[in-house]
Every structure is written in C-alpha cells, then in structure tokens.
C-alpha cells in the first residue's frame, strides 16, 4: 500500500470514528403539538337601564341612582313620583366556555341621554353584579348593571335615551 492510499484509508477511518462517536452522544425524541379552541365569549343585552319617572326641581340639580338589584334612590333636586314608571338595572347574558372566568369592563366616561325637546342628561358611575370579574357556570352568567343619572334644574320634560357598552373578555 502506498502512502497516498494509506492517507485515504486513515482519513476514512477518522471520519467513521467521528460519526460513530457522535452517534453515541446524541439522542432525540418526538413530541406532539396540541391546541384547544374554546367557544367564543359573547354578551347580549336583555333589558335596559331604566330610571323611571323623575320629577325635577326648578332650581336644583339632582341625581337618580339605579342599583344592580333594580332599586332606585334620589338626591337633591329630584323626587321619585309614586307612579314609578319602568325602573330596572340593565341586564346582560354572557355565554362562553364551560367554567371560564372573564373580565367585565363598564363605561368610564359619562354617557349622554338626549330627548325632551333637545335636552340632555348624563349617566355615569356604572356598577355591575358581578363586579369586575365573572365566572361562567355551565357556559353562561347574567350581569346586572346600574348607574347614576344626573338631572338638571328645570330639566326639559320628555323621554330621554342613550346607549352604553359593556365589554367582556376571557381572563
């Protein structure tokens, strides 16, 4: 065997030993990748936030608050007539995945109600039950939302309307 052939043979043996040594120092395994798509969260309004009939003062501002249980109270320049009219907290139904929890976001800015010959009033200080976070039992839960109506002195008579948004997101 000549020197050239010997060098080729030694090079082949070295390469074979290198691959053999590496095959003992390495291992591999396979893993599965999985994902679960959950039911989308949804919210539907089932009843309006209604402050009912309100009598106003000619000179004083006032407020009417509807709590999440549907009770109402008045302060300062408003009175609540015996004939209450429709009074209710807003009601929403949330649906989604099983027993998931979710965050409730209420309006932070005042909402304007218009009507009464061009008059306006605002609603703010929204509250909810449950408050801030809810839990879906068997994929559903009801939310009640209350708020405070700000009535002007000598507020123009008439029906006032406006809307607000409640947002829910999975935690």
Q: Is 159 inside a domain boundary?
A: yes
Q: What are phi and psi of 46, to 5 degrees?
A: -115, -10
The predicted model gives 120-130 an average pLDDT of 98
The CATH number given to whatever domain includes residue 75 is 2.60.40
Say yes or no to pLDDT of 132 above 90: yes
Q: Which domain holds residue 81?
A: 42-170
Residue 7 lies in a domain: no
Mean pLDDT of 60-85: 96
User: How many CB atoms are closer than 10 A to CB 104?
Assistant: 21
What pTM was estimated for this model as a whole? 0.82
Q: Is residue 57 part of a domain?
A: yes
Whether 16 maps to a domain, the answer reads no
Contacts of 142 (CB under 8 A, 6+ apart): 46, 91, 92, 93, 94
pLDDT at 20 over 60: no
**In a domain? residue 8:** no
Element spanning 13, H or E: helix 3-24
What pLDDT score was predicted for residue 9? 72
Higher pLDDT, 13 or 115: 115
Core vs surface per residue 138-151: b (16+ CB within 10 A) or e: eeebebbbbbbbbb
Q: So what's the pLDDT on residue 8?
A: 76
Residue 166 pLDDT level (bands cut at 50, 70, 90): very high
- Residue 22, domain member (yes or no): no
Tell me, yes or no, whether 9 lies in a domain.
no
Q: What is the pLDDT of residue 2?
A: 77
pLDDT confidence of residue 117: 84
- How would residue 101 be classed by pLDDT, with cut points 50, 70 and 90? very high
Instruction: Tell me if 149 is assigned to some domain.
Output: yes
Give the count of domains, the chain.
1
> What are 21-51's pLDDT values in tens digits?
556 689 999 999 999 999 999 999 999 999 9
């Amino acid at each position: 065997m000549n020197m050239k052939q010997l060098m080729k043979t030694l090079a082949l043996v070295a390469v074979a030993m290198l691959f053999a040594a590496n095959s003992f120092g390495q291992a591999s395994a396979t893993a599965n990748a999985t994902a679960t798509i959950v039911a989308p969260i949804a919210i539907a309004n089932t009843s309006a936030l209604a402050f009912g009939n309100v009598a106003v003062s000619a000179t004083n501002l006032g407020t009417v608050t509807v709590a999440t249980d549907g009770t109402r109270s008045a302060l300062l320049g408003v009175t609540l007539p015996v004939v209450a009219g429709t009074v209710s907290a807003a009601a929403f139904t949330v649906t989604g995945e099983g027993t998931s929890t979710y965050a409730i976001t209420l309006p932070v800015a005042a909402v304007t109600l218009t009507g009464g010959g061009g008059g306006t009033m605002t609603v703010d200080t929204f509250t909810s039950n449950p408050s801030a976070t809810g839990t879906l039992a068997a994929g559903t839960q009801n939310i009640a939302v209350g708020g405070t109506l700000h009535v002007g002195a000598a507020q123009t008579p008439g029906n006032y309307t406006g809307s607000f948004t409640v947002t829910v997101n999975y935690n």
